[in-house]
Amino acid sequence: MTLSFYTLAIHAFYRERAHLLCADLAHRPVIVLTDEPSDFADLCVQSIRHTPTGPMAVDYLERLRATKSYRGAAAYHDKRFAIEAALRDLETTIFLDTDIRILGEVSPFTDFLPGLAVTKLVRKTVAEHLETSGS
């Protein structure tokens, strides 16, 4: 099984955090979709230029007015472009949010079945998430 990790890092706030995450995953294949690939030149990662399809969360905090119920056309679905890039050359990829850290050794992964895999760490089903977070 060929395994990679991927993340989405748009804007300085998320690029800084992604930089730390990529350093945590040294010696593992990592793909970063970002608005500034040069920010990752000092790391052994594949950085791919990406322009988001909509505003990111930080855009709402820094320059956009809040929308009704805080909903808008955010670029949450841009992760699919990172998945596509990761799966071009590798069989399996794991998405990691940029604002997490991997401290210590990354556990060895066993073979995943084809299709979407979810770890036991997920505490909500998709239906439960949609009930609390909206569609």
Structure-model confidence comparison of residues 130 and 98, the more confident one: 98
pLDDT for the residue 58: 63
> What residues form DSSP beta bridges with 30?
5
- What b-and-e string marks burial along 106-131, b requiring 16 or more CB atoms within 10 Å of the CB? eeeeeeeeeeeeeeeeeeeeeeeeee
Report the share of the chain in percent with pLDDT over 90: 21
Averaged pLDDT for residues 116-134: 65
Residue 32's pLDDT band (boundaries 50, 70, 90)? very high
Domain spans of the chain, in order of start: 3-104+112-133
